Amino acid sequence: MISIATSSDAPVSIKKPDVSQNEVDAVWVNILSHVQPQVNSQSFKTWFEPIKPIKIENNEVSVTVPSQFFYEWLEEHYYSLISDALKKTLGPTAKLTYTVVPSDEPMQSILVTSSDAAGKANDLINIRVEQAQYIQPLPYEKTFLNKRNTFNSFIKGESNQLARAAATAVANNPGGTSFNPLVLYGGTGLGKTHLMQAVGNYALETGKAKRVIYVSSEKFTNEFIDAIRNDATTEFSNLYRSMDILIVDDIQFFTGKEKTQDSFFHTFNSLHQLGKQIILSSDRPPKELQGLDERLISRFQWGLTADIQPPDLETRSAILRNKCERDDVFIPEIVLDFIAANVTSNVRELEGCYTKLLFNASLLGKDIDLDMAREVLSSVVTEVRSPLTVEEIQRIVSEYFDIPNDLLRAKTRKQEIVIARQVAMYLAKELTNCSLKTIGLNFGGRDHSTVIHAYQTVEEQIKIDPKFRSSMEQIKKKIEIHSR
């Protein structure tokens, strides 16, 4: 049997799965007894009396409400009150399921579950929307995606490895992974938009999704305001809730916009419970977003949150080389290395320097070289050069020859070590103001005559061996770029 507790009793214990309607009604009366003292009589009559209990099973109370609007009003204004009443009556694992059959949408049934079960942290609502109507594919021009933003054009690096892997998984199985929503965060110009749109483009191209839309938070807000002004909120909601993949950029700008947040909250719920994919971006982790409804922040943390950091030197170099290849233009490697070494903040600035350099070269009708790059990009690139040291030359030479740095100072006479040591001595004499004695001391205490011999050997080899001469030029370029 089932025991009914008064407001002062312990929570009800439901042990019987086939509870009679009379017992269900009694439990619901008990739940309402906790609610009624906390609302005025008119509100109670308007919003609570129309609720009809249906059944109780596994500590879950099923009720019906007259409309979708009715449900949304309850969740918006009485969520905490209802949750507390459930806990007091049925215990911490209690659930309340609303069944809505909107009169103006006979083809659609909506099942809404509100729960206080552990693990959902202040916001425990699951919504499943089962739609019978057929939804047509969305024309590409209405997706607001950029066709150039693909996975192939997105350069993978350590700074974005997790985000790219998650995005790839989502693109292959939208809504079918645990990465829902997928939230990408990081500073401006790091590739968040590119990566999100790559998901949409790939899913459409492979047929994984038919309806995809990309929208900034500002655009979503403006469209919502227009919908209110034109009495078209139903059309607005139906559009976004019909998507297979919803991509929203810069959600931090939802802060302070309460009505917009509420609209997005219900859109999120509908899509998530339909198993549709949601992808969001922000300039910081969801938990650090100020001015957002706790219900939204909770939902944003349901899936995977991945950060994108500023790209490292290798990734910046790869991005520039990829752009040259994609645009079929030639820029000397020394110039690309110069840009990659000096523009470190974000990808957008990196690409801006690349575009500016191409524009000026075309305008002036000149080939691009390092001097042009320094002049054209002087407002962006600030080189801070420090005196070149023998140690720096040793480091770069050892990297070029792929040998341990300390072997340049060792006693070994292995041929590959001797050549590298002589090259480093030659460059130290050419590029620094150090005396022969000082250079020799930096190579394991060798005397000045050894340095002179190394210089003469390398100088002769440069004259007679084109391949060796080319290697020396490459090493000099690396020193010029990396030593500051």
Q: What is the pLDDT of residues 38-87, one digit of tens each?
A: 988 878 888 888 888 888 887 888 888 877 667 777 877 788 888 889 88
Q: How many CA atoms are closer than 13 Å to the CA of 409, on its beta-carbon side?
A: 14
Whether this prediction's pTM lies above 0.75 is answered by no
In sign, the C-alpha dihedral spanning 125, 115, 121, 162 is: negative
pLDDT of residue 64: 85
CB 199 within 8 A of CB 171: yes
Q: Which residue carries 């419970």 as its tokens?
A: 273
- How many other C-beta atoms are found inside a 10 Å radius of the C-beta of residue 6? 8
What lies within 8 Å, CB to CB, of 117 at 6+ separation is 92, 93, 95, 124
**Mean pLDDT lowest for which of 126-130, 314-318, 415-419, 467-471?**
126-130
List, edge to edge, every strand of the sheet that includes 212-216: 212-216, 245-249, 277-282, 182-185, 304-307
Tens of pLDDT, residue by residue over 384-443, are 455 678 888 998 999 899 999 889 988 888 899 999 999 999 999 988 888 888 899 889
pLDDT of residue 130: 34
- Report all structural domains of the chain as residue ranges with CATH numbers, in order of start: 21-131 (3.30.300.180), 140-307 (3.40.50.300), 313-376 (1.10.8.60), 390-482 (1.10.1750.10)
Tens of pLDDT, residue by residue over 284-299, are 998 888 888 888 998 8
Q: Provide mean pLDDT across the span 243-269.
A: 92
307: enclosing H helix or E strand = strand 304-307
Q: Provide mean pLDDT across the span 311-324.
A: 84
Query: Between residues 277 and 103, which one has the greater pLDDT?
Result: 277
pLDDT of residue 381: 67
